[in-house]
């Protein structure tokens, strides 16, 4: 294709009117780019067609512009350039698609936060419940142990073979009161010292059994205890409590006898 053919065969006119296929159009464009005289000719033809267009113009109804503006302002229509660069009058954040995407993202984000908070609350609640459950279990175990201990103690003093003996303080210690539960069959003795006054740190109460006139050690008594097991002595005729040096003595200090009971 050369310049002469382009002009004389009317190909340039066809190009301007948009009649040519893409391949021929590109060939014409290449010629136009390289030939300023041809370019000038093309421009002249364009001017003529534009002039014909203006001479035959028909004013469109005003409603068309209004509809066009409505459609463009609705922002559902975007220019091709907006995908490559952000532009002034139609910012991307005002587009319907972006708003919808942002709305969905926001909804998703809020939902995620809500679900995360719910999950955190549930986890906290679960941890609290687990902690409380453990506390209840511990208390239950302790209560069971206590009940077992109480039952054991109760069995020790409430058995039909058990005989309680009350040792009341003499004039040296009139407020003192000790109960000894003796089970001759089981050969056991437990003592309640709850009502036994405290001593100085250098002294201890000691329980003795009188067997044929001889005082035999049954054990040191710690004050404030409900049931203290002490040594059982066969053929004991009486129980005696003395105040001895701290830790007890091998032989009783008779002058410090504060209570006794005959069996």
Partner 1 sequence: MSTTPKEIPFISALKKGDKRALYSLYDMYSGSIYGVILRIVSNEDEAKDVLQETFISIWKKIHMYDESKGKFYTWAYRIAKNLSLNRIRNKKRFIQIEDSGVYKMTEEQVEKPELTRLNGLLTQLEPHHQEAVRLVYFSGYTHAEAHKVMNVPLGTFKSYIQQAMKRLRSGYNLLLILGGIILVALIYG
Contact set for partner 1, span 15-74 (CB under 8 A): 16-19, 29, 32-33, 42-61, 63-65, 67-69, 71-73
Contact set for partner 1, span 172-211 (CB under 8 A): none
- 86 three-class SS: coil
Dist. CA 147–CA 137, nearest whole Å: 15
127 binds partner 1 (CB under 8 A): no
Least distance CB 75 / partner 1 (angstroms): 10
Which positions from 75 to 114 touch partner 1 by CB under 8 A, shown as an x/- string?
--xxxxxx-x--xxxx------------------------
Q: Of these, 1, 5, 10, 164, which contacts partner 1 (CB under 8 A)?
A: 10
Dist. CA 164–CA 167, nearest whole Å: 10
**Strands lying side by side in the sheet with 162-168:** 162-168, 177-183, 188-195, 228-230
Determine contact, residues 132/125, Cβ cutoff 8 Å. no
Dist. CA 29–CA 47, nearest whole Å: 17
CB nearer to partner 1: pick between 73 and 146: 73
Token reading at 42 = 């093309």
**Location of structure tokens 């097991």:** 229
Question: Which residues of the shown chain bind partner 1 in the complex (CB under 8 A)?
Answer: 8-10, 13-14, 16-19, 29, 32-33, 42-61, 63-65, 67-69, 71-73, 77-82, 84, 87-90
């Amino acid at each position: 294709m050369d310049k002469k053919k382009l002009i004389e065969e009317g190909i340039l006119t066809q190009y301007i009117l948009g009649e040519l296929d893409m391949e021929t159009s590109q060939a014409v464009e290449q010629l136009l780019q390289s030939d300023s005289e041809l370019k000038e000719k093309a421009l002249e033809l364009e001017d003529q067609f534009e002039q014909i267009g203006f001479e035959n113009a028909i004013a469109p109804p005003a409603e068309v512009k209004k509809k066009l503006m409505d459609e463009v302002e609705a922002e559902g229509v975007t220019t091709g350039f907006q995908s490559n660069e952000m532009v002034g009058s139609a910012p991307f954040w005002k587009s319907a698609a972006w708003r919808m995407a942002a709305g969905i993202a926001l909804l998703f984000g809020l939902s995620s936060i809500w679900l995360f908070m719910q999950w955190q609350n549930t986890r906290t609640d679960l941890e609290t419940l687990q902690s409380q459950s453990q506390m209840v279990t511990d208390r239950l175990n302790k209560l069971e142990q206590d009940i077992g201990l109480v039952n054991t103690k109760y069995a020790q003093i409430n058995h039909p073979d058990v005989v309680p003996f009350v040792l009341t303080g003499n004039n040296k210690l009139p407020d003192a009161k000790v109960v000894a539960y003796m089970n001759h069959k089981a050969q056991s003795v437990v003592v309640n010292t709850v009502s036994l006054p405290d001593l100085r740190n250098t002294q201890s109460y000691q329980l003795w059994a009188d067997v044929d006139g001889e005082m035999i050690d049954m054990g040191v008594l710690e004050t404030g205890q409900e049931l203290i097991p002490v040594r059982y002595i066969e053929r004991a005729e009486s129980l005696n409590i003395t105040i001895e040096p701290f830790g007890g003595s091998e032989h009783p200090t008779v002058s410090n006898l504060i209570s006794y009971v005959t069996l």
